[in-house]
Structure 1
Amino acid sequence: MKQITVMEKYPVYTLEIGKEETDYKSIDEIFSYLKSQIEAHPIATYIGEFDHYAHTKSLEVGEINEDILAAKNLICCFGKVLPKPEVLAVRPRSIGVAEKAGSFVISFLEAPNAGANKDMEAWVKGLLNK
């Protein structure tokens, strides 16, 4: 995985997986795998999914890069402590999956919890063929 900065301020982990590098054939198959990882985790909880592509396409002013064929966000939370109200601003977590003609691009914003980052990174790397 690579760590990049998006829009000059957002620390993001990202991995582009060629379709020949994975057995998963669609975003829905990837989401099934990620959801199983969340459900097996002792703290994380699955919240839902958001079809960002469909939402943006439905907007009169919506714009989508022509390379993107589909794009969804899987939403989960690793929150095991709630030390102050402001921590809600950085929760829950979202793992984005975009489909391009020859690859899937998986990304997530760096979490304030190092353990959550390690877990999400392992889940994403688990999409690669062994």
Structure 2
Amino acid sequence: MKQITVMEKYPVFTMQIEKSETDYQTIDEIFTYLKVQADLHPVATYIGEFDHYTHTASLDVGEISSEIKAAKNFICCFGKVLPKPEVLAIRPRSIGVAELEDAFVVSFMEAPNPDANKAMEQWVKGLLK
């Protein structure tokens, strides 16, 4: 797992997982695994999923890189305190999963909560055989 900056300002953790390195062969299988991880976590709660590929493909102005075969966001929240209204702007969390021909790219933006980052990183690394 590596940390990069996307669009010169967004801190993102990302990992490319070759399909030969995992037992999961579809995004839906990965999402089933991630939902179990969220359900087992003492604070995290599963919210839903967003099919970004289908949404973008449906737009007249939508553009998708030819290497991306599918792309969804797994949405969950690690919020255990709500100290002020503005905290809502940085929640919930999203783990993006893009399927390429022979690999998955799994990424999430750095959370202000180090425990959330640690959990999401463990979940992503758990996809490896």
For residue 48 of structure 1, report the CA deviation from its aligned partner.
0.2
| Alignment correspondent of 1:25 | 25
| Alignment correspondent of 2:12 | 12
Q: Give distance in 2, aligned partners of 1:23 and 1:40.
A: 20
- Give the aligned residue type for 1:44: A
Counterpart mapping for 1:23-62 below 5 A = 23-62=23-62
- Give the aligned residue type for 2:59: L
- Give the aligned residue type for 1:40: L
Tell me the C-alpha RMSD between the 2 structures.
0.3
Q: Give distance in 2, aligned partners of 1:66 and 1:57.
A: 12
Q: Give distance in 1, aligned partners of 2:85 and 2:8.
A: 26
- Give the aligned residue type for 1:29: E
- Give the aligned residue type for 1:125: K
For residue 35 of structure 1, report the CA deviation from its aligned partner.
0.3
- Give the aligned residue type for 1:87: V
The gaps in structure 1 that reach 5 residues or longer are none
- Give the aligned residue type for 1:20: S
In the TM superposition, what whole-angstrom CA distance separates every residue of 1:92-126 from its partner, at most 9, and x where no partner exists?
Answer: 00000000001000000000000000000000000
Matched position secondary structure for 2:55: helix
Q: Give distance in 1, aligned partners of 2:13 and 2:46.
A: 20
**Number of residue pairs matched by the alignment:** 129
For residue 40 of structure 1, report the CA deviation from its aligned partner.
0.4
The gaps in structure 2 that reach 5 residues or longer are none
In the TM superposition, what whole-angstrom CA distance separates every residue of 1:34-71 from its partner, at most 9, and x where no partner exists?
Answer: 00000000100000000000000000000000000000
User: Normalized against structure 2, the TM-score is what?
Assistant: 1.00
Q: Give distance in 1, aligned partners of 2:25 and 2:55.
A: 22
Q: Give distance in 2, aligned partners of 1:27 and 1:13.
A: 18
In the TM superposition, what whole-angstrom CA distance separates every residue of 1:8-28 from its partner, at most 9, and x where no partner exists?
Answer: 000000000000000001000
For residue 83 of structure 1, report the CA deviation from its aligned partner.
0.5
Identity %: 74
Runs of 4+ in 1 over 3 A off after TM superposition: none
User: Normalized against structure 1, the TM-score is what?
Assistant: 0.99
Matched position secondary structure for 1:53: helix
Matched position secondary structure for 2:66: coil
